[in-house]
Structure 1
Amino acid sequence: MTRKSHDVDAVVTWGLLAAWALHDTEEMVMVPRWVRTQVPELRKRFPRVPQTVWRRLESVDAREFSTAVAAMAVLLAAACADGQRTGGRSAVYQTALNAFGLHGLVHLAQAAAMRGYTPGSATTPLVVLPFTVWARGRLRRSGVLRPTRPRQLAEGLGFAAVATVATHALAQAVPRRR
């Protein structure tokens, strides 16, 4: 396929996967320790949250979390490949890009609610939000950015939520070695 002048560069499409990898590296490094140290405090601060939620959070081991991250990488790689194939026009790619940025806002809201650090909140202002704004700007200048309306924001949040739940469910279903 010949590249059209209004298509975006691979750094815009595949850059999403690279930015996500940097961000999720922070999460992979920080989640186990953060869960260990913060869940007891969270139980006290949020007594109405069912104990099953806290137990489930504490039960996620490094293998399960790594498997979920790997599954998410596959989903994002597919979205980025579709973005590259379509010169950035892909609705799947643009939804994944929106999801990435919106999930960063969720990280910042979590950190604000906790009044401190939460895994993912350090790379959000350094990587997630700047990349999302930059990539959307490149898509806009190339004339391929779909209009962003409340529906697209809901789709982005929905994509992030469904992908997170699905990848963690898959990771939980992978048999553990004994």
Structure 2
Amino acid sequence: MKRTTKVGLGLLAAWAIHDLEEVWTMSATSKAISGKLPKNAPIPAGLRRAGMSQKHVRIGIGFMALVMSTAAVLGVRSEGRAPFFRAALLAFGIHGFGHLALTAAFRQYTSGVATAPTIVIPFWLWARKELAKEGLTDLNWTTALIALSCLSLLPAVHALLYKILKE
């Protein structure tokens, strides 16, 4: 199996393992921390009061499954050269550090923090090293801008789901 194929399929596998943790824990964690968010944070009152429902979490993670599956397929097909694949990989790695920061800020368990340092970040570092052996990097303007767009998808998806589900 080609190195780039392993990285592409690995991204989907690492994401799936990480998001299983989130499926199991995000609703309860969001309820526990939503009231602790800064008062000026643009969070709807219902979300601030009750956190995300399990239905909200499942649909949101399902949407991100489409994004990550697309990235993985593009990664395999392009042998790691697709900018969207490399941007998704970069966003995945950076978001792992976000889980650690969120947990430190709230000084309690937050959804995804168990697999961020054990799956997400180690996979990202390994994948970057493997792609570098092929002369590929995720550190350029194109992938950085796409990665920022990917990271901004998360709050946008949650806001849209909140409006649609009216929970």
Please give the range of the TM-score, normalised by the shorter of the 2 chains: 0.7 to 0.9
**TM-score for both structures, normalised by structure 2:** 0.84
Q: Select which of 100, 121, 140 maps to 1:108.
A: 100
Provide the alpha-carbon RMSD of the alignment. 2.5
Amino acid at match of 2:117: P
Partner of 1:128: 120
Structure 2 unaligned blocks of 5 or more: none
Identity %: 32
Partners of 2:156 and 2:34 in 1: CA distance = 23
Q: Structure 1 residues 175, 118: closer, same or farther in 2, change over 3 A?
A: closer
Q: Are 2:9 and 1:18 aligned?
A: no
CA distance in 2 between counterparts of 1:147 and 1:173 reads 34
**Residue type matched to 2:152 in 1?**
A
CA distance in 1: counterparts of 2:51 and 2:104, whole angstroms: 25
Match of 1:116, SS?
coil
The answer to which of 151-160 and 85-94 deviates more is 151-160
- How many residues align structurally? 165
Name the SS for the 1:117 alignment partner: coil
Cα shift at 1:137: 0.5
Q: What is the CA–CA distance in structure 1 between the aligned matches of 2:140 and 2:104, rounded to whole Å? A: 26
The 5 A counterparts of 1:15-164 are: 15-40=10-35, 42=36, 46-49=38-41, 52-57=43-48, 58=50, 60-143=52-135, 145-146=136-137, 148-149=139-140, 152-162=143-153, 164=154
**Residue ranges of structure 1 left out of the alignment (5+ in a row):** none
Letter in 2 for 1:33: A
Aligned mates of 1:30, 1:47 — CA distance in 2: 24
3-state SS of the aligned residue for 2:124? helix
Work out the CA distance in 2 between the residues paired with 1:175 and 1:95.
Answer: 30
CA–CA separation in structure 2 for the residues paired with 1:174 and 1:10: 37
